[in-house]
Structure 1
Amino acid sequence: MARVVTKPDTLNQLNQDFEQQVLTVPVFLNSVPKCGTHLIRNIFRMFVPVNQQYHDTFIQIPVLRQHVGAFNYLQPKLSWGHLLFSDESAMALRKAQHLVVVRDPYDWVLARARFFLSDNFQGNLEHLKSGQINLEEILNMMIFGIHEKVPSLSDIYTHNAAAWLGTGTKLVRFEELKHHVQNLESDDAEQYFRELLSVLQLREFPTDWRERVRVGSDREQSGTYRDNLTNTAFTLPDQLPEQQRKLVDYAAPGLRNLLGYCD
């Protein structure tokens, strides 16, 4: 089984610096893996009492039945995970506020490769770091998957994102979240975060929301932020090569347009 190595954060302690309002509805932060999960989770954690945050596990299909209580509307919690679309997950989330975070599939290929090639990821893919496979081949594996080892881009985006659309789930694009985090003083940022955080159904939007977002979005608090990954075996480009972009379009035609990404 794959193991992810990260350092613990201190956000539960920092949460105490802010006056918190009681959460009255269950909220689930769902995401495609490697789409800024820690960023949105850590920001939301600054707006919810620690005792109403579900830290027991990162909720996914294999453990859903054991942790379905995270969505109990009588005991509201903020929870997070990578929960693919299914009959069981739809029933579990029927009374929860539900967000799904995605990122541009072109950039996702690089983010996935960067993570798999780092020391933070320990699993059955250590041979990818050996230098016996070139970078372009690794990028293609991120797109098409590796037989019986890792799923393809199309499979992941289909079940973790596309299948949730049109069901009342709120779609969040990582790039927009990141942009507004980096431009917190703007009026657009305030409008964005008021809308994003509206799923918490707070009685009053905190006047110190900017400071809460700053604390939650601190890169040092995210063990999987790209600059905090250790000993990445390859130097990856800032943009996906043109050939691999064409392969993404071939492997998942229409996906980028469906998610709102247009060149």
Structure 2
Amino acid sequence: MNLIDILRRRDRKIIVFGTGSASRRIVPFIRSISYFIDNDSRKWGKSFMNKKVYDPKIILGEKLDEILIVVASMFYEEISQQLSKMGLEEDKHFIKGVILEEDLDEVLKRNSAIMARMYDKKVIESLKKFETKFVPNKPIFINSIPKSGTHLLRNIIAHFIDERYIHWNFVHYETLDEAQNELLQGEKKLFTGHLPKDFKTSTFASKCNMLTLIRDPYDLVLSTAKFLYSEIIPWNRIGHYIQANEISVQETISYVISGIQLGNDGIPRLSESYLKWGIQWFDDAVQVIRFEDLIYHIKNINNKESEIYFLNIFNSIGIDLPKDWKDRVLSGADRNISLTSAVVKNIDKSQFKLTENHKKMIEVIASNLRKTLGYA
């Protein structure tokens, strides 16, 4: 049983052993806690983090196979022996829960990477249907506002390119040097990422045909909120915290609009997101693509208008449309190979609606943004 199991499970009653700083650090990320236990008799019967604290002997009245004790204490070895004498087994009935912030971050990153690689492999398998692959003369860089359809556009363009030349990992500021080296060596030709604009990132982008992807702020807010409620994979601290504390969908949407910071993870204010990853790049992009237009032309791919639309996109990045271009586009748009689609697949999307108050918040925080982008 690992950390992710603890943070996500619903089938066991969660009991936390310890009421100190270690508990305060981990409790916000556990979905639901029944109560606390502690060896300090002075704490019995009192409340800690809105839950009752009891004598550890209370667990003798529980059905052991229906509980999971998270030991959040620096005295784990001693408590482990204590629980073992009571008939509990380590990793079955109790588990070490003293977790430093760096440990949690590492687990989140590792599990996210595993999921991403799994879906990258699905894309690669899909590419094998097409014999002819292209190697662009000039590298292509798709830069986007997060949750604006980045995987969709990446997967479509990937279906035209030799997979050996695709940099599969998203390019972030922390990984820019690696991407830059691959670009300069000519090893990779297609890059995707979320980069803010500064001298360093501009140098990278100047060597590419860059596409900037944007989305209606209304839809982007809802898409981001859904992402935070995903149960497929624990993406970050904010998602964990929101789900563990049962924060409402409407409140979460407000946080997405106004911005939220938790530990090393954060979501910028809506206006900052569009400036940071979108608007600043408009003059550098060979084309600015709106997510809604992309979806429309995928659905209407047999129309002449849609052929012209895709012809313009691929011409701007130095790729001539082959005869089977429609099949390639539709294969790239297949939701079965989309990581984002998998992440939100089981979410009740009917809950995610903008209220009039949310729309007013967007107007106050990002005045005229939708009008500037052509959505109003």
Tell me the TM-score normalised to structure 1 length: 0.90
User: Structure 2: how far apart are the matches of 1:168 and 1:124?
Assistant: 33
Task: Give a deviation string over 1:83-120, Cα, whole Å, max 9, x none.
Answer: 11111100111121001111101111110000011123
Q: CA deviation at 1:188?
A: 0.9
1:174, CA displacement in angstroms? 0.4
Q: Which has the larger radius of gyration?
A: 2
Deviation at 1:131, TM superposition (A): 5.4
Q: In structure 2, what is the Cα distance between the partners aligned to 1:10 and 1:230? A: 17
CA contact under 8 A between 1:31 and 1:161: conserved in structure 2? yes
Percent identical residues: 29
Kindly tell me: are residues 160 and 14 of structure 1, through their superposed partners in 2, closer, same or farther at Cα, counting changes over 3 Å?
same
The question of 1:105 aligning with 2:217 is answered yes
Retained in 2: the 8 A contact 1:85–1:159? yes
The Cα shift of 1:152 comes to: 1.7
1:82 aligns to what?
Answer: 194
Matched-pair contact (CA < 8 Å) for 1:27–1:199: no
Bigger drift between 179-188 and 66-75 goes to: 66-75
Change (3 A) 1:76 1:58: closer
Secondary structure of 2:302's partner?
A: coil
- Count matched residues: 258
1:250 maps to 2:367: no
Q: Which amino acid aligns with 2:292?
A: E
Secondary structure of 2:134 counterpart? coil
Structure 1 Cα separation of the partners of residues 275 and 236 of structure 2: 24
Give the structure 1 partner of residue 351 of structure 2.
236
Which amino acid in the other structure matches residue 49 of structure 1? D
The offset of 1:231, in angstroms, is 5.0
The alpha-carbon deviation at position 210 of structure 1 amounts to: 0.4
Q: Indicate if the aligned counterparts of 1:24 and 1:76 stay in contact, CA closer than 8 A.
A: no
Kindly indicate whether residue 230 of structure 2 is the aligned counterpart of residue 118 of structure 1.
yes
What CA distance in whole angstroms lies between the structure 1 residues aligned with 2:166 and 2:149? 18
- One of 174, 179, 194 as aligned partner of 1:62: 174
Instruction: Name the SS of the counterpart of 1:93 in structure 2.
Output: helix
Task: Within 5 Å, give how 1:1-263 maps onto structure 2.
Answer: 1=105, 2-3=108-109, 4=112, 5-6=115-116, 7-8=118-119, 9-18=121-130, 19-55=132-168, 57-72=169-184, 74-75=186-187, 77-119=189-231, 120-125=233-238, 126-130=240-244, 132-148=246-262, 149-150=265-266, 151-202=268-319, 204-225=320-341, 228-229=343-344, 231-232=346-347, 235-237=350-352, 239-262=353-376
C-alpha RMSD over aligned residues: 2.1
The alpha-carbon deviation at position 40 of structure 1 amounts to 0.3
Q: Distance in 1 between matches of 2:357 and 2:303?
A: 37
The answer to whether the 8 Å contact 1:27/1:76 transfers is: no
- Which structure is higher in RCO with an 8 Å CA cutoff and minimum separation 6? 1
Q: Which amino acid aligns with 1:193?
A: F
| Cα distance in 1 between the residues matched to 2:142 and 2:123 | 17
Counterpart secondary structure, 1:201: coil
Once residues 122 and 63 of structure 1 are traced to their aligned partners in structure 2, the CA distance between those partners, rounded to angstroms, is 18
| Paired letter, 1:236 | Q
Paired residue secondary structure (1:171)? strand
Moved more, 162-171 or 241-250: 162-171
Q: Give, as a single letter, the amino acid of the residue that structure 2 aligns with 1:36.
A: G
Contact 1:73 1:95 in 2 (8 A): no
Secondary structure in 2 matching 1:224: helix
Q: Secondary structure at the match of 2:207?
A: coil
Secondary structure of residue in 1 paired with 2:129:
coil
**Helix, strand or coil for the counterpart of 1:84?**
coil
1:142-192 CA deviation, whole Å, 9 max, x = no partner? 001114542221221111001112234421100000111111111111011
Contact 1:30 1:98 in 2 (8 A): yes
2-structure distance, mates of 1:196, 1:73: 26
Compared CA separation, residues 73 and 179, structure 1 to 2 (3 A) = farther
State the AA in 2 paired with 1:10.
Answer: K
Consecutive unaligned residues of structure 2, counting only runs of 5 or more, are 1-104
Of 216-225 and 115-124, deviating more is 115-124
Task: Tell me, in whole angstroms, the C-alpha distance in 1 between the residues paired with 2:302 and 2:323.
Answer: 13
Counterpart of 2:362, as a letter, is V
Contact 2:164 2:188 in 1 (8 A): no
Higher helix share: 2
**Counterpart amino acid of 2:365?**
A
Q: How far, CA to CA, are the matches of 1:14 and 1:141 in structure 2?
A: 37
